[in-house]
Structure 1
Amino acid sequence: MDALTTLVDGLSLRAKLTYWGGVCGDWLMDHNSDTEVWFHLLSKGAGWIHSPTWNPPLRMEAGDLVLFLPHAPRHVMSYSPIHIPTDFSNVRATSFNEGETGFVCGSIELGMPNASLWTALPAEVIIRKDQAGAILSWLLQLIIRETVDPRLGSNSIIERLCDSIFVLVLRHCIEEGLVERGVFLAMQDPKLEAVLTQIHREPWKPWTLDMLCELSGLSRTAFSARFTEVVRCPAIEYLANWRMQVASGWLKDANLTVAHVADRCGYQSAAAFSRAFKRSFGLSPGKFRRNGHAQEAG
């Protein structure tokens, strides 16, 4: 497996659908989050993104995809390039076939949304229908076709297809040069990619700098300089942050105690793990679990 695959698998990133179907009238979508990636696939008609990034507002058409990461500026989408509704009195949710406009909308929760892993990505990712490439285009069309004629299991099928959308979008950002720093850029360096793959696959392993250097095939000095320059933090610091991101997902499993999570992350005691977790999240693992959702990371 490669570094991107092990990253996605390690974080258990899953899409959660919030709406798929049609809309009529003066519709508005106000989906802003400090902890989640929001995505909108326009399956029919047209809409406009109102954001400080776009002046005038950006027109979206059928087959276009937009993702808003947690560090995106506040934004809305509406039926008009000039009018932003203040209420929902003149809008009606419909089936895809009845709607003037159609959408597939959802979110993906990030355990550490402020981590450099995510902030290195564009805050808003726009992929036009004719820019998606063959595989992503086919996937988007599969999703749209499933919404046109929903059958048994359609919601689950669409959700699982949306999981793949996010991976393909990450690959699109890497391959199209939309990432200028950080882990996703490092994945294009074969020597760093080899190290990241192992870190992502086995975060609990007691990695040392010498072990990581051996994986890269570089000297200690050369590896440390290259990793820090591209990823923007030392390798051991990245490893610690990665362990916390993985741990935040494991803590949502009620069957795992904090001690079990600590052990799986490679910590010799729950107390040491709790101190490291609190440095990253600003609260203890127990409180994080009781809150039931991701918190902002420092």
Structure 2
Amino acid sequence: MIRSTNLPVAYRTSFSGKLDRLSSLIDRLRVHVENALADQPANGFANLVIYADPSGANRLIFCPSMSEEDQAYPEIAPLSGETPLVAAHISISGIGKQLINALPACISVPLSEEPYLTAVVTPLIEEATTPRCGGQAAFQRLCEVVVIRLLRHAMEEGKADTGLLNGLAHPRIAAALVAIHEAPEESWTLERLAETAGMSRTQFAVTFKELVGATPMGYLSNWRLDIARAELESGRQVKSVATLCGFSSPAAFSRAFSRRFGYPPKQKRNQAA
């Protein structure tokens, strides 16, 4: 049973005043960056590489799901005449990793076609090729911004066929997804989410499933419980997590958590402690 707040939900907006579809997820991303050898990106296990061709044009490649066993990814290899400028291994953790899982296996972007990415990549190249004090910290932060802008690029360019990014690219479904992400403790029903999206109940349910690959209520349940697991791992008390995620009682939370993960939340909390 989910606790009802019956309070209006406030959603973040971008600087232009439009609905911010990514920030509630990006807040939960944890980006870890390790440098690789720029002259041997594959051998250094890099999943983000910036290449330059003889004309000086740069190309960025990011393979977010690439693991150490997948070092032979053909997409990460240079094209004829290209030389690597930057190579790094970026790993993503946190609940926001759902965004990364929604990306294509590899994204290749000619930077001449993406000025907003170029604006971040240029100082990234400088930090990698001209070492200075604070360079590692700057490189880490810039890689985080690159990941965010790649997510934005994939969403705006329709790079995902199904999944979370595809849902966020749809203006009406995005409104419901942001509502879930921003206020998981709300007493959401299919009717309320459809109303938030400005769609009929049936149209909303069908469109959501087609785009996201899950039912609205199934996605909501998984989001709440993913937040709960992350909070327990951080050492938060079970009762506090139950309230945070909108459950009417710790007992109701424990039942839902155990069904999803196969063990009670108290076990996860004790492991964290």
Is the TM-score greater than 0.5? yes
- Please report the RMSD computed on the Cα atoms of aligned residues, expressed in angstroms: 3.6
- 1:131-146 to structure 2, matched below 5 A, reads 131=113, 133-146=114-127
Q: Which amino acid aligns with 1:68?
A: P
TM-score w.r.t. length of structure 2: 0.74
Partner of 2:172: 191
Listed one character per residue, the Cα deviations across residues 234-261 of structure 1 (whole Å, up to 9, x for unaligned) are: 211111111123233323323x223222
Q: Secondary structure, in 3 states, of the residue corresponding to 2:222?
A: helix
- 1:101-250 to structure 2, matched below 5 A, reads 102-111=86-95, 119-131=101-113, 133-250=114-231
Structure 2 distance, partners of 1:195, 1:227, is: 9
Contact 1:187 1:196 in 2 (8 A): yes
Structure 1 distance, partners of 2:260, 2:92, is: 20
Q: Secondary structure, in 3 states, of the residue corresponding to 2:22?
A: helix
Report % sequence identity: 30
Partner of 1:74: 70
Partner of 1:86: none
Contact 1:45 1:101 in 2 (8 A): no
Runs of 5+ unmatched residues, structure 2: 1-12, 14-19, 79-83
Structure 2 distance, partners of 1:229, 1:77, is: 30
Q: Kindly state the Cα deviation for residue 167 of structure 1 after the two structures are TM-superposed.
A: 1.6
TM-score w.r.t. length of structure 1: 0.68
Structure 2 distance, partners of 1:287, 1:251, is: 9
Contact 1:43 1:104 in 2 (8 A): no
> Whose strand fraction is larger, Structure 1's or Structure 2's?
1
Distance verdict in 2 for CA 1:43–1:178, change over 3 Å: closer
Q: Kindly state the Cα deviation for residue 120 of structure 1 after the two structures are TM-superposed.
A: 4.1
Is 1:29 aligned to 2:44, yes or no? yes
**Alignment: residue pair count:** 247
> Whose helix fraction is larger, Structure 1's or Structure 2's?
2
Distance verdict in 2 for CA 1:224–1:67, change over 3 Å: same
Partner of 1:13: 29
Distance verdict in 2 for CA 1:124–1:290, change over 3 Å: farther
Q: Kindly state the Cα deviation for residue 15 of structure 1 after the two structures are TM-superposed.
A: 1.5
Listed one character per residue, the Cα deviations across residues 213-244 of structure 1 (whole Å, up to 9, x for unaligned) are: 22122222222222222222221111111112
Q: Secondary structure, in 3 states, of the residue corresponding to 1:203?
A: coil
Higher relative contact order (CA 8 A, sep 6+): 1
Q: Kindly state the Cα deviation for residue 43 of structure 1 after the two structures are TM-superposed.
A: 6.4
Q: Secondary structure, in 3 states, of the residue corresponding to 1:121?
A: coil
